[in-house]
């Protein structure tokens, strides 16, 4: 059992709790870097897909898990990031400029949407974001001169200082690019949580009344959460476009938004690890289901099987483990650290809201 003796405020907000944690994450990064030499192209592509979903999960986690604002419309922001990056590259922008610009553009769209949306709470905010996700399909078709409508677009080859990167011809290079973006987004997310703004997000999530009493501007904090969340999501959308190779108005449907929300709930709300655990489930479960149906059903496709299984898993987690996969791991780790002094009721569920929240 490792005990952390904190003697200053800096110990509470440092990037890694101790050198052991730093060593574990450094080892994971090293394994991730050498992965192309350990896996074939198919499985390397699946791992790349996991990382892209993880980036999108970090974006939604910042808004829903960290700030407590439910969103079912992040597929629209994935589309904004994807189309922005590709259109800028078609107009001569290099990838190193078009890619971050796509994130900035998506963040601005998210902030503009947040101006009226911050007045909404709970189910009403979720309904508003669903409407945005549904409208995104029609808007892409209406902007046919820019988006090519239902015909869709093809992602160009990425060129970075003369080095060409493409998902199919150079899968290892594309994987390393996605890995680099994933690490940068994760570090940015982690540092944001340590900053005053990140703590303001948590205060708004736990109790808006208490946050207001501590001097947190609720509307500005929610708008900042929307903007930063959509910026990260836009980067994931751009990478999704390069990963798919071709996309149109039907690529970023409301199903993507639902999958994103299920992903962070299954992985564990409010944690960076939860985004990665949920991404593993979302990315690999369809492949597992396909293999099972091919083996048992003779290759017969079962309509709605994937969404049915996702829904069943989500219901089971809500009923038996609301903290998700990462929450279950925390309980197991704590039990092992405290054994044989662990108590049976030490993980009893607590009330989620303060009594003051019922006044709204």
Higher pLDDT, 139 or 118: 139
Higher pLDDT, 116 or 15: 116
Architecture in CATH of 39-346: Orthogonal Bundle (1.10)
Strand duo 246-247 + 153-154: pairing: antiparallel
Give residue 32's pLDDT: 93
Q: Give me the mean pLDDT over the 115-119 stretch.
A: 84
Contact 337, 1 (CB under 8 A): yes
Higher pLDDT, 337 or 214: 214
Q: Give me the mean pLDDT over the 139-147 stretch.
A: 88
Give residue 254's pLDDT: 85
> H helices of 61-195, where?
74-90, 95-117, 122-142, 144-147, 171-194
Give residue 329's pLDDT: 85
Summarised one tens digit per residue, pLDDT across range 87-96 is 999 998 999 9
Query: Whole-angstrom Cα distance, residue 232 to residue 19?
Result: 28
- For 156, phi then psi, to 5°, come to -75, 170
- Which among 221, 74, 219, 248 has a CA at the least distance from the CA of 153? 248
Single pTM value for the model: 0.90
Give residue 337's pLDDT: 75
- Run of H or E residues at 33: helix 19-34
Summarised one tens digit per residue, pLDDT across range 257-271 is 888 888 998 998 888
- Which among 234, 284, 285, 282 has a CA at the least distance from the CA of 255? 282
**Structure-block tokens of residue 129:** 């974001």
- For 90, phi then psi, to 5°, come to -65, -25
Residue 177 to residues 32, 46, 65, 180, 224: CA-CA distances in angstroms? 12, 15, 27, 5, 27
> Quick one: pLDDT band at residue 353, thresholds 50, 70, 90?
very low
HSE, side-chain direction, 13 A CA sphere, residue 19: 0
Query: Whole-angstrom Cα distance, residue 340 to residue 151?
Result: 63
Higher pLDDT, 10 or 98: 98
Sequence spans of domains, the chain: 6-36, 39-346
Summarised one tens digit per residue, pLDDT across range 37-54 is 998 888 899 999 999 999
> Does the structure show a pLDDT above 90 at 83?
yes
Summarised one tens digit per residue, pLDDT across range 277-334 is 999 988 888 888 877 777 776 666 667 777 788 888 888 888 888 888 888 888 888 7
Contact 15, 183 (CB under 8 A): no
Across 24-33, 160-169, 307-316, least confident range: 307-316
């Amino acid at each position: 059992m490792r005990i952390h003796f904190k003697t200053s405020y800096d110990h509470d907000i440092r990037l890694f709790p101790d050198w052991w944690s730093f060593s574990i994450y450094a080892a994971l990064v090293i394994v991730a870097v050498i992965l192309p030499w350990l896996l074939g192209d198919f499985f390397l592509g699946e791992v790349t897909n996991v990382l892209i979903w993880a980036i999108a999960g970090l974006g939604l986690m910042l808004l829903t898990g960290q700030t407590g604002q439910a969103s079912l419309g992040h597929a629209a922001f994935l589309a904004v990031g994807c189309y922005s990056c590709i259109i800028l590259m078609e107009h001569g922008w290099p990838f190193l400029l078009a890619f971050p610009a796509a994130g900035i553009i998506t963040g601005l769209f998210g902030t503009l949407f947040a101006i009226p949306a911050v007045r909404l709470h709970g189910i009403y905010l979720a309904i508003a974001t669903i409407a945005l996700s549904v409208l995104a399909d029609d808007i892409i078709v209406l902007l046919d001169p820019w988006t090519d409508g239902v015909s869709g677009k093809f992602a160009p080859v990425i060129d970075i200082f003369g080095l060409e990167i493409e998902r199919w011809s150079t899968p290892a290079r594309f994987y390393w690019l996605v890995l680099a973006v994933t690490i940068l987004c994760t570090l940015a997310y982690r540092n944001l949580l340590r900053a005053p703004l990140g703590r303001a997000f948590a205060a708004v999530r736990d109790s808006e009344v208490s946050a207001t009493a501590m001097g947190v501007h609720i509307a500005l904090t929610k708008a900042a959460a929307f903007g930063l969340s959509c910026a990260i999501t836009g980067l994931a959308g751009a990478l999704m476009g390069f990963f798919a190779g071709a996309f149109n108005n039907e690529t970023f449907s409301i199903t993507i938004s639902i999958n994103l929300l299920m992903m962070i709930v299954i992985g564990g709300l409010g944690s960076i690890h939860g985004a990665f655990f949920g991404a593993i489930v979302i990315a690999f479960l369809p492949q597992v289901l396909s293999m099972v149906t091919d083996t048992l059903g003779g290759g017969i496709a079962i309509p709605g099987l994937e969404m049915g299984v996702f829904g069943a898993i989500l219901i089971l987690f809500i009923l038996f483990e609301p903290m998700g996969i990462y929450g279950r791991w925390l309980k197991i780790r704590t039990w092992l650290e405290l054994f044989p002094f662990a108590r049976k009721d030490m993980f009893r569920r607590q009330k989620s809201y303060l009594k003051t929240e019922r006044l709204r």
